[in-house]
Structure 1
Amino acid sequence: MKRILLAAGAAVLSLSLFAGCGKKGDVVQIGHKNYTEQRILGQMLSVLLEEKLGYATEVREFGGTNIVFEALRTGDVAMYPEYTGTAYGSILGESGLKDAQEVYNHVKQVYRDEYGLLWLEQMGFNNTYTFAVLPEVAEAYNLKTFSDLSKVAGELTMVSTTEFLEREDGLPGVKEAYGGFEFGNTMAMDPGLRYAAISEKKGDVMDAFSTDGKLIEFELVVLEDDLGFFPPYFVAPLLNGAYAEEHPEVVEELNRLQGNISDEEMQQMNYQVDNLGVNEKEVAREFLESKGLLDQ
């Protein structure tokens, strides 16, 4: 139904798609979502365009997937970093595929055919969803897997992002796949507040991304998705199709990111921002330099 409703507005939005094309004057508009990893990736795209192609950019934060997706479709932004699993489960509302390449190929084709959007090459890391608990909670309930958690969820409080509580590839889908998962209490909050809530014992379990830097800081126990519910969440630049067609040099430049970021490298970049207080753009530039991607 979501796909049908979105497609129905394509004709109305087509004029703005071509009129805006992600630019305000000579400034390229780059979007990202509202958490650390997305902020770093947004700055990474910005640094490449500014320092390699000489473009002026403006990096803009959006509240969630649906909002930035619509901004891209309408040409309000030219690009943003997106995850294949998010596109597959949240935007397309589909499930079943688990192979990383199959998911990528599928969302790439559907986004091109139905929305006029272009997926570039994948950057390399897989930031899948998971559940994380404090070590003492894991020990008290002998928690190692999602199945273990499903059996005792009623005794626990979960702190979570609102998006995870509502998305089909979030808690609703986990409940359907595993059964159970009816937590004694659930608290929705901003992504950046979950770790503080867990550390202050306001909750027992939280949704997390596998590349979260704060998993290192708080020494949380990451549970195994033993039934393999979550699809792969490999990230890639997603471009407005009209903008991409007009700027093949941008496509070529951003595709140089292909396979360059490992799970561990992304987690360390998140850690630098969240725990060491390093600016997101500085972290992005230093990483690109370390990979030789800013060399002339």
Structure 2
Amino acid sequence: MKTRSAAAALISVALLALAGCADDDLDSDKSADPSTTPSASGGGSVTIGSQNFDEAALVTAMYAGVLEHAGYDVTTKLVGRRDIYVNQMPDAIQIAPEYVGGIADFMNTTVNGEDAPSITTNDTQESIDAVTPLLADKGLKLLDPSAATSQNAYFVTQDFSDSEGVTKLSDLEGKSVVLAAAEDCAGRADCEAGLKSVYGIDITELLPLGYASPQTYKAVLDGEAQLGQTGTLDGTLADQGLVLLEDDKGIQPAQNLIPLVSEDFLAEHPDVEQLLDDLMAALDNDTLGGLIAQVTVDRETPEDVADQFLSDQGLV
């Protein structure tokens, strides 16, 4: 075994000092430039962007866990709307946990305008194929989708359901309601626009209180809104006296979980693709629904739930 020379030791110390500076930058929430990462794979700095509702925070923690285990220095940025983090890709943010229909609709309206015909369907691969060219122009790529799918869904109180005879969205046709939903609901075919045009619901006001947020639940329970937005995997509704309505006319596109990654970052770190593909393959609706309940019902942190799941699955 060769002994290090004094010069080599000095170089090592210098490199460690530089790494410490990089860590300081991450702590101050400055995203690292992938071109400065120390190797082509198996480590480096990466920033993950996502939305800040419980489900997205949980999946983001899973991404962070598998990448950290593989030697990456991970920064996460959780924000209120998709446009905030996607518009920072691929430079300031390199990876985003996404949903097939959500990212496809966003890219379509961003590139082709708010009135562009929808490119999403209930078919996962068709939706992926349709958005791939739009993402490629931005230097982004979708990896393999998960079997787990979380679509937008809408709920009312049990009392409203009983008194108005409402169990599916079409039962609201012609009725005037206030909708509590995510900030980006306005104009979306799977949210306000679809509820109006496909179901004929008169939405008199849209309250931007968040997707499956405590504020959205409270608004409906207090009667401030009659209709609230959540996801199909929400396991908290029955205990709150709320009822999920059937999307009987199918305005929700395929919404499989899927990683969105910078093409340049992936070229420099090819190991990331297999790491995230393995994570996606470990998730299905039953598994994800149970994990979400640990966060939303049992009030465990997304990080703790993610760490235990990754360990149980042998992913870390």
Same topology, TM > 0.5: yes
Output the amino acid matched with 1:247. Answer: H
Q: For the residues of structure 2 that align with 1:231 and 1:107, how far apart are their CA atoms? A: 13
Q: 2:158 aligned to 112, 117, 135, which one?
A: 135
The 3 A distance-change label for structure 1 pair 241 and 135 is same
- Which residue pairs with 1:20 in the alignment? 33
Greater percentage in helix: 1
Please list every run of 5 or more consecutive structure 2 residues that lacks an aligned counterpart in the other structure. Answer: 1-31, 39-43, 110-116
Shift in Å, 1:237:
1.0
Alignment of 1:235-250 (within 5 A): 235-250=257-272
Question: Highest relative contact order (Cα 8 Å, sep 6+), 1 or 2?
Answer: 1
Q: For the residues of structure 2 that align with 1:175 and 1:184, how far apart are their CA atoms? A: 10
Give the TM-score normalised by structure 1.
Answer: 0.83
Tell me whether 1:210 sits opposite 2:226 in the alignment: no
The 3 A distance-change label for structure 1 pair 280 and 23 is farther
Shift in Å, 1:210:
1.0
Q: 1:171 aligned to 170, 189, 192, which one?
A: 192
Give the TM-score normalised by structure 2.
Answer: 0.78
Q: 1:39 aligned to 57, 60, 63, which one?
A: 57
Q: For the residues of structure 1 that align with 2:128 and 2:173, how far apart are their CA atoms? A: 29
The one-character-per-residue Cα deviations of 1:188-210 (angstroms, maximum 9, x if unpaired) are 22332101222333322112111
Tell me whether 1:181 sits opposite 2:201 in the alignment: yes
Q: For the residues of structure 1 that align with 2:152 and 2:185, how far apart are their CA atoms? A: 9
- Which residue pairs with 1:220 in the alignment? 242
Q: 2:171 aligned to 148, 159, 175, which one?
A: 148
Q: For the residues of structure 1 that align with 2:36 and 2:194, how far apart are their CA atoms? A: 37
- 8 Å CA contact 1:23–1:29 kept in 2: the answer is no
Shift in Å, 1:40:
0.8
The structure having more radius of gyration, on CA atoms, is 2
Q: For the residues of structure 2 that align with 1:22 and 1:42, how far apart are their CA atoms? A: 23
Q: For the residues of structure 1 that align with 2:229 and 2:63, how far apart are their CA atoms? A: 27
Output the amino acid matched with 1:187. Answer: L
Shift in Å, 1:185:
4.0
The alignment-based identity, stated in percent, is 24
Shift in Å, 1:184:
4.2
- 8 Å CA contact 1:21–1:76 kept in 2: the answer is no
Shift in Å, 1:71:
1.2
Q: 2:129 aligned to 98, 105, 119, which one?
A: 105
The one-character-per-residue Cα deviations of 1:64-116 (angstroms, maximum 9, x if unpaired) are 1111111123x10110101111122222134253312211232234312x222
Please list every run of 5 or more consecutive structure 1 residues that lacks an aligned counterpart in the other structure. Answer: 1-18
Tell me whether 1:83 sits opposite 2:103 in the alignment: no
The one-character-per-residue Cα deviations of 1:25-56 (angstroms, maximum 9, x if unpaired) are 943211111211111111111100111x1222
